[in-house]
Amino acid sequence: MSASADTTTRPSDDADSFASLDPRTGAEVGRYPIHDRAHVRAAVDAAAEAATWWEGLGFAGRRKRLANWRRTLVAQIDGLARTVREETGKPFDDARLELVLAIDHLDWASANAEKVLKKRSVSPGLLMANQAASLAYRPFGVIGVIGPWNYPVFTPMGSIAYALAAGNAVVFKPSELTPGVGHALARTFAEAVPDAAQHPVFTVVTGKGETGAELCRAPGVGKIAFTGSSATGRRVMATASENLVPVLIECGGKDPLIVAADADVEAAADAAVWGGMSNAGQTCVGVERVYAVESVADRFLAAVTAKARSLRVTATDGPDGDFGPMTMPAQLEIVRRHVTDALERGGRAVVGGADSVGERSVAPVVIADVPEESSAVTEETFGPLLVVNRVPDVDEAVRRANATGYGLGATVFSEKRGDDIAARLRCGMVSVNGVISFAGIPSLPFGGVGESGFGRIHGEDGLREFTRPQAVARQRFALPIAVTSFKRT
């Protein structure tokens, strides 16, 4: 599990500023201010004024401006992808894909906000037939968005785009590992929406955990949308509770992949390796554990082994490999601990091992037959480590899949029973015969259960998440006392 401010402090950081580093080389690529309480509160106050203007534009006015933002992002996509690559170390193509998916969400949110959120009449029921009843979804005002570093555009955009489309202003605190990406997003917004110069509808504050905490407790914030580790999620909830501010919490996961006896084994192996290793395994909804039914387990493991061995890791200053270094150096130690623990408890190293953990990156590791109590099975690893365990049948696979405290995503490979197995999984999202597919479908809600958090981004639920329902009952005519007093005669 990744941690908060302490794990991201660099030697050159001081009380007022911090460095952003290229994880491939360790070179400083930018320096950013650590915004304090006064700065965060001023940003929130300005956003609160801007929110009134933004809400007043109505759905059409916002749609037009968000469409401009979309066009600007598309026009600048390669430059933005280079910024993402520089601060995360991920391959350029992965960074670009992240942007494409984020832009698609922006598109969907702005196109659908009116349909989902516009004021509507509802039936008052027989007893209250003299009332005209309506339901409106009203914006909160200011949404504080706190983001992680692993998908520094795609992940926060799931809150930013939906919150803006719903009529809120946003103050965004990007991860201290990716502040340049946060600034790049705000710059493109300012270019696309010039009237936001007078009305700061989308602003960025930079800093570490304390800056995020100040955003959580700033008076005027209507809701906090947090994405990060479960440990930080708990702190965010505690701080937001000071002002009884509602929170949306998107946290970590330990996503399982189930390979049933009737699975397309090659496709399942592709999914396991891509879902487990892409972005160096630093994906909340990746694949961290596999439960393969005995009858196909050997074939599956052979296919995974061949695929994992063929992967290339980006070398310092070299061309992009299949995945890059660990973005947060502190994560190296967690991966090393999980690999060592799995092997010491009797797991079988199939690809790589403890030596795969290098100075900046981790080469692919696949370990089979890992005891379920191992930290590699129970805790989020967030590295290119795949645990492959064999099970007698799908029932046992489902039981083990559901056995951790997390419940974000899951993957099922089965030709005939995919949907049935999916229905038995305790998690927010399932891909059947594919992997992480749900994240790219804007109309589907995204989020988890248990230690993976609560609330939903994306889709209709994601739009409503950034609004509060307001009920209005307007009396159309007075009813005789006999009817309204409910007296029995």
Closest C-alpha to 159, from 117, 216, 96, 102? 102
Nearer to ligand NAD (CB atom), residue 225 or residue 259: 225
Among 159, 175, 356, 389, which residue sits at the site for ligand NAD (rule: CB under 6 A)?
175
Taking CA 29 as the corner, what is the angle to CA 226 and CA 66, rounded to the nearest 5 degrees? Answer: 45
Among 201, 408, 427, 436, which residue sits at the site for ligand NAD (rule: CB under 6 A)?
408
266, 366 contact by CB (below 8 A): no
Task: Look at residue 418 and give its three-state secondary structure.
Answer: helix
Angstrom distance (rounded) from CA 52 to CA 394: 53
Pairing of strands 202-204, 169-173: parallel
Does residue 228 belong to the site contacting ligand NAD (CB under 6 A)? yes
Nearer to ligand NAD (CB atom), residue 16 or residue 294: 16
250 included as an active-site residue: yes
Dihedral sign for Cα atoms in the order 409, 413, 415, 420? negative
Q: Which conformational region is residue 357 in: left (phi greater than 0), alpha (psi within -120 to 50 degrees), or beta? A: beta
Residue nearest ligand NAD, Cβ-based: 212
Among 91, 144, 212, 324, which residue sits at the site for ligand NAD (rule: CB under 6 A)?
212
User: In sequence order, what DSSP letters do the residues of 193-261 get, joined into one string?
Assistant: -GGGGTS--EEE---SHHHHHHHHH-TT--EEEEES-HHHHHHHHHHHGGGT--EEEE-----EEEE-T
Does residue 251 belong to the site contacting ligand NAD (CB under 6 A)? yes
216 included as an active-site residue: no
Does residue 229 belong to the site contacting ligand NAD (CB under 6 A)? yes
Tokens representing residue 301 in the block? 């493991």
Closest C-alpha to 122, from 141, 111, 136? 136
Does residue 235 belong to the site contacting ligand NAD (CB under 6 A)? yes
Among 86, 87, 94, 250, which residue sits at the site for ligand NAD (rule: CB under 6 A)?
250
Q: What is Dmax (Cα atoms) for the chain?
A: 88
Does residue 155 belong to the site contacting ligand NAD (CB under 6 A)? yes
Pairing of strands 142-146, 131-139: unpaired
Tokens representing residue 114 in the block? 């009116």
Enumerate residues 326-345 that contact ligand NAD by CB under 6 A: 328
Angstrom distance (rounded) from CA 386 to CA 292: 13
Enumerate residues 90-149 that contact ligand NAD by CB under 6 A: 146-149
Does residue 67 belong to the site contacting ligand NAD (CB under 6 A)? no
Among 88, 150, 168, 467, which residue sits at the site for ligand NAD (rule: CB under 6 A)?
150
Does residue 176 belong to the site contacting ligand NAD (CB under 6 A)? yes
Does residue 216 belong to the site contacting ligand NAD (CB under 6 A)? yes
Q: Which of 284, 288, 427, 465 is catalytic?
A: 284
263, 415 contact by CB (below 8 A): yes
Nearer to ligand NAD (CB atom), residue 236 or residue 258: 236
Tokens representing residue 472 in the block? 């209005």
Among 143, 284, 339, 357, which residue sits at the site for ligand NAD (rule: CB under 6 A)?
284
Least Å from the CB of residue 23 to ligand NAD: 13
Among 62, 63, 90, 173, which residue sits at the site for ligand NAD (rule: CB under 6 A)?
173
The count of chain residues that interact with ligand NAD, using the rule CB under 6 A, is 36
Nearer to ligand NAD (CB atom), residue 91 or residue 428: 428
Nearer to ligand NAD (CB atom), residue 349 or residue 449: 449
* Catalytic (active-site) positions: 250, 284
**Residues engaged in binding ligand NAD (CB under 6 A):** 1-5, 146-151, 155, 173, 175-176, 208-209, 212-213, 216, 227-229, 232, 235-236, 239, 250-253, 284, 328, 380, 382, 408
